[in-house]
Amino acid sequence: MNTCNECEHLTLSMELMADHIKNIAQRLDKESIKKTIEYIMDADSIFIMGAGRSGLVGKAFAMRLMHLGFKSYVVGESTTPAVHKNDVVIAISGSGETRSVSDLGRIAKDIGATLITVTSNRDSTLGHISDATLEIHGRSKEDAGGYLERHMRGEYSHLTPLGTSFEISSLVFLDALVAELIFITGASEADLKSRHTKLE
């Protein structure tokens, strides 16, 4: 038949994601967030990097920083300049072990830049070398036990393939960080619009 009837996997998947986001919101490490905001506010430029879908999350975040008036760049894009001492480099890596990203993290540290990592795994290569680590809790047994989920138990493994949940939750987290930065900088919707690209 090749389609869904009530499409309940789809609905359930969205509801589990929503629950997971709430759970993360309640477990945030405020000290790391405060340090991160200070680093960002004081940086000359902010560089974002990540591989695969985490790289896409990074691009979405870098775009918002630019809208807010920060000098932000995505590592690997055409006109991204060299990193200097007073810059902040933000790595996004669920495992904290993505080889290409941790190699660049080490180079950023050698240059003397500040390294921040968004990860599900604080106890990782990137976590260890970072000046601040923003931990986004992955889905664990404990927070996976809600009613809806128990209802569907057998097919649970279908619902969060390949770490999807880290990428979505880090995107939600980083956009929420932008909301906080908007409040701090006092940027208005009008400011943001004036920097929004007209060529796309």
Ordered alpha helix ranges (H), 46-163: 52-67, 99-111, 125-129, 147-151
Residue 174 tokens, joined = 């980083």
Between 1 and 20, how does the x/- string for binding to a second copy read (CB under 8 A)?
A: -xxxxxx-xxxxxxx-xxx-
Establish if 149 lies at the interface with a second copy (CB under 8 A). Answer: no
Between 59 and 88, how does the x/- string for binding to a second copy read (CB under 8 A)?
A: xx-xxxxxx----xxxxxxxxxxxx-----
Chain centroid to CA 184? 20
Which residues, listed in sequence order, are joined to residue 91 by a DSSP beta bridge? 49, 117
Q: How many CB atoms lie within 10 A of CB 185?
A: 13
The piece of 104-112, 114-122, 124-132, 138-146 that touches a second copy (CB under 8 A) is 104-112
Asked if residue 155 lies in contact with residue 8, where contact means CB atoms within 8 angstroms, the answer is no
The whole-angstrom separation of Cα 66 and Cα 64 is 5
State which H helix or E strand residue 178 sits in.
helix 164-185
Q: What is the closest distance, in whole angstroms, from the C-beta atom of residue 59 to a second copy in the complex?
A: 4
The piece of 114-122, 125-133, 139-147, 162-170 that touches a second copy (CB under 8 A) is 162-170
Q: Which of 88, 95, 167, 170 binds a second copy (CB under 8 A)?
A: 167
Give the three-state DSSP class for 15. Answer: helix
- Tell which positions 111-130 bind a second copy, by CB under 8 A: 111
Please say which residue, 2 or 142, places its beta carbon nearer to a second copy: 2
Catalytic residue selected from 167, 180, 189, 200: 167
**In this structure, which amino acid lies at residue 68?**
L
Establish if 154 lies at the interface with a second copy (CB under 8 A). Answer: no
- Tell which positions 34-63 bind a second copy, by CB under 8 A: 34-35, 37-38, 41-42, 47, 49, 51-53, 56-57, 59-60, 62-63
The piece of 121-129, 137-145, 157-165 that touches a second copy (CB under 8 A) is 157-165
Q: What is the closest distance, in whole angstroms, from the C-beta atom of residue 128 to a second copy in the complex?
A: 19
Q: Is 149 a catalytic residue?
A: no
User: For 179, how many CA atoms within 13 A lie in the half-sphere containing its CB?
Assistant: 6
Establish if 90 lies at the interface with a second copy (CB under 8 A). Answer: no
List CB contacts of 165: < 8 A, sequence separation 6 or more: 17, 20, 138, 139
Catalytic residues: 167
